[in-house]
């Protein structure tokens, strides 16, 4: 059904997508992680592949099956650093980057070589954390004019204001803002309610819909912008 003449096609385009959560090691058996399921990024990967794109999917920790599609190549990563390395390697040949992954902002300053043992008289453990690299910001700084970069903004308060700051500070073309507060929480859900931010236009709020529907709508928007 889908061919090069179909409106909204991404045939011949390369789309780089990250999904899932990163894990930062504390010791050989423990890590700092997050609640990302990977559903939104995986849905975007499927939607892009379905309209003819070649998709490179960099996957962190996910709680759903890996997608299987002839035009989706999957790279598994664990830490923010591994994700950064893969994205940096694949970005130059990509037409579009979509950072749907929930990337750790901080990682343990040191990774213990051995399992950290608790002492009998010990009531507390202090972990020192250091900032990770902002993958989106670092990569988007080097983007060429014809490349499109899309980021997400997960917020529990001041959604539009915070997402707008991210749009500017990260040099993104589009920020997809989603509230992760309380009952609206997108984590793990099949539904998502997002607001689309682009420079020079007012934010556009999309109604609450299935993540796969958000993905299809986003891919249609990107196909229009790619022309
Ligand atoms: N992101 C990234 N590298 C990081 C942190 C975030 O590439 N180290 C990306 C995410 O994939 C997302 C966007 O930046 O596309 C925004 O992530 P978010 O966590 O909402 O914002 P932060 O900039 O990390 O700020 P904060 O968590 O403080 O709101
Ligand atoms: Ca963050």
Atom of ligand 1 nearest to the CA of 18: 11
- Going by pLDDT thresholds of 50, 70 and 90, the confidence category of residue 170 is very high
**225 annotated among ligand-binding-site residues:** no
Per-residue model confidence (pLDDT) at position 183:
59
Write down the pLDDT at residue 182: 65
135 lines ligand 1 (CB under 6 A): yes
Q: Residue 3 catalytic?
A: no
Q: Please give the pLDDT value at position 190.
A: 87
Q: What's 14-108+132-226's CATH class?
A: alpha beta
Cα-to-centroid distance, 210 and ligand 1 (Å): 23
What integer pLDDT is reported at residue 142 of this predicted model? 95
What is the 44 CA–ligand 1 centroid distance (Å)? 18
Task: Determine which of 107-116, 139-148, 155-164, 181-190 has the lowest per-residue pLDDT on average.
Answer: 181-190
Predicted confidence at residue 186, as pLDDT, reads: 64
| Mean local confidence (pLDDT), 22-34 | 98
Q: Which ligand is located closest to the Cα atom of residue 91?
A: 1
Q: Is 142 annotated as a binding residue?
A: no
Q: How many CB atoms lie within 10 A of CB 125?
A: 9
Ligand 1 atom showing the smallest separation from residue 151 Cα:
15
Q: Tell me the per-residue pLDDT of 38-83, one tens digit each, with 9 for 90 and over.
A: 999 999 999 999 999 999 999 999 999 999 999 999 999 999 999 9
Determine how many CB atoms are found less than 10 A away from the CB of residue 103.
24
Q: What is the pLDDT of residue 185?
A: 60
| Strand partners for 30 | 27
CB–CB of 2/50 below 8 Å?
A: yes
Query: Ligand 1 center to residue 122 CA distance, Å?
Result: 35
State the angle between helix axes of 211-226 and 39-50 in degrees (0 to 180), rounded to the nearest 10.
50
Contact 17, 101 (CB under 8 A): no
Predicted confidence band of residue 121 (pLDDT cuts 50, 70, 90):
very high
pLDDT above 50 (res 2): no
pTM over 0.80: yes
Q: Which is catalytic among the residues 3, 34, 113, 192?
A: 34
166 is in an annotated binding site: yes
Alpha carbon distance 145, 159 (integer Å): 28
Mean pLDDT value across the chain: 94
Give yes or no for residue 99 CB within 6 A of ligand 1.
Answer: yes
């Amino acid at each position: 059904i889908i061919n090069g003449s179909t409106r909204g096609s991404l045939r011949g385009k390369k789309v780089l997508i990250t999904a899932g959560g990163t894990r930062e090691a504390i010791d050989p058996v423990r890590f700092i992680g997050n609640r990302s399921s990977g559903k939104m990024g995986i849905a975007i990967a499927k939607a892009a592949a379905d309209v003819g794109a070649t998709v490179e999917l960099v996957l962190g920790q996910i709680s759903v099956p890996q997608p299987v599609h002839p035009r989706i190549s999957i790279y598994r990563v664990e830490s923010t650093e591994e994700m950064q390395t893969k994205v940096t390697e694949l970005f130059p040949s990509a037409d579009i980057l979509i950072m749907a992954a929930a990337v750790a902002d901080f990682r343990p300053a040191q990774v213990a070589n051995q399992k950290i043992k608790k002492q009998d008289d010990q009531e507390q453990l202090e972990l020192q954390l250091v900032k990770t690299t902002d993958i989106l910001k670092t990569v988007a700084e080097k983007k060429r004019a014809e490349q499109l970069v899309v980021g997400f903004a997960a917020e529990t308060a001041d959604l539009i204001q915070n997402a707008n700051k991210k749009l500017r500070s990260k040099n993104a073309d589009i920020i997809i803002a989603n509230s992760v507060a309380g009952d609206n929480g997108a984590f793990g859900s099949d539904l998502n309610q997002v607001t689309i931010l682009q420079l020079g236009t007012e934010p556009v709020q999309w109604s609450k819909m299935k993540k796969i529907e958000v993905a299809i709508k986003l891919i249609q928007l990107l196909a229009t912008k790619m022309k």
